């Protein structure tokens, strides 16, 4: 099963087969703008990200679609968590009271740590092994992350491990290099700073120096998020 971050776009564009009726403009617009939002946010372009997200919301809200609008808020929450930005997913939860599908609800519970209420069968497939690993199952969590193909899902998994205070140096290194490979400056900057802090705590001056240079390079290209 695909990541909800990808699946959300697919669902927004559902019923768009070549033999079916034309895709409504609101679906196309919403799907396009939420993809632009994700890219801008992960690159640390706050103003542009906010603009794209508002346009995505305008498309689904203007069509009076509760579930699709809720899904946009859920995708935003997931992207925030991938960047270690605090988000309780309240906007999604409020709309989901009126209309929610099982998969979105399971993903919301996964993101917010409500695992005792989670229907694993409805969870996007790559996250089920993370649930098992976080509970002490085999293989270990970092091994699961390494085999997670979708880079954004990998970052979400790393963020959950951090929130559970189970992340180690390997987790931070994997998350940092995942963000670096994609050119996602926002999460990369956060993870490099976490690595720098740990290097300082263990007295590793060589690692501190290298990390400080990487951080400086990134900061020179972006306005740091508040």
* The pLDDT of residue 226: 47
pTM: 0.88
- CB contact at 8 A, 195 and 174: no
Residue 67 has pLDDT above 60, yes or no: yes
* The pLDDT of residue 109: 95
Residue 2 has pLDDT above 50, yes or no: no
**Average pLDDT of the chain to the nearest whole number:** 90
C-alpha–C-alpha distance, residues 71 and 76, integer Å: 9
Cα–Cα separations (whole angstroms), residue 136 to 16, 46, 140, 141, 142: 42, 37, 7, 8, 12
Q: What do you get for the CA distance between the two ends of the chain, in Å?
A: 35
Residue 82 has pLDDT above 60, yes or no: yes
87: which residues sit within 8 A by CB, 6+ positions away?
76, 77, 80, 81
* CB neighbours of residue 123 within 10 Å: 22
**Per-residue pLDDT reduced to its tens digit, 11-36:** 444 434 446 788 899 999 999 999 99
Extents of the domains making up the chain: 4-164
pLDDT band for position 136 (cuts 50, 70, 90): confident
């Amino acid at each position: 099963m695909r990541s909800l971050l990808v699946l959300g776009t697919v669902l927004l564009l559902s019923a768009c087969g070549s033999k079916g009726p034309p895709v409504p403009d609101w679906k196309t617009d919403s799907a396009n703008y939420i993809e632009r939002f994700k890219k801008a946010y992960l690159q640390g372009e706050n103003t542009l990200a906010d603009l794209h997200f508002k346009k995505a919301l305008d498309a689904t809200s203007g069509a009076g679609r509760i579930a699709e609008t809720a899904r946009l808020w859920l995708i935003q929450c997931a992207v925030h968590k991938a960047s270690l930005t605090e988000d309780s997913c309240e906007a999604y939860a409020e709309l989901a009271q009126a209309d929610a599908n099982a998969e979105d609800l399971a993903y919301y519970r996964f993101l917010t740590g409500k695992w005792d209420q989670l229907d694993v069968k409805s969870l996007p497939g790559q996250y089920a092994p993370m649930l098992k690993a976080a509970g002490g199952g085999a293989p270990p969590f970092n091994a699961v992350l390494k085999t997670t193909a979708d880079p954004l899902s990998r970052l979400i998994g790393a963020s959950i491990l951090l929130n559970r205070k189970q992340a180690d140096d390997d987790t931070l290194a994997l998350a940092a290099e995942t963000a670096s490979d994609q050119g996602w400056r926002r999460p990369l900057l956060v993870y490099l700073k976490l690595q720098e802090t740990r290097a300082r705590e263990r007295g590793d001056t060589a690692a501190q120096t290298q990390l400080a240079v990487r951080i400086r390079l990134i900061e020179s290209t972006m306005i740091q998020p508040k």
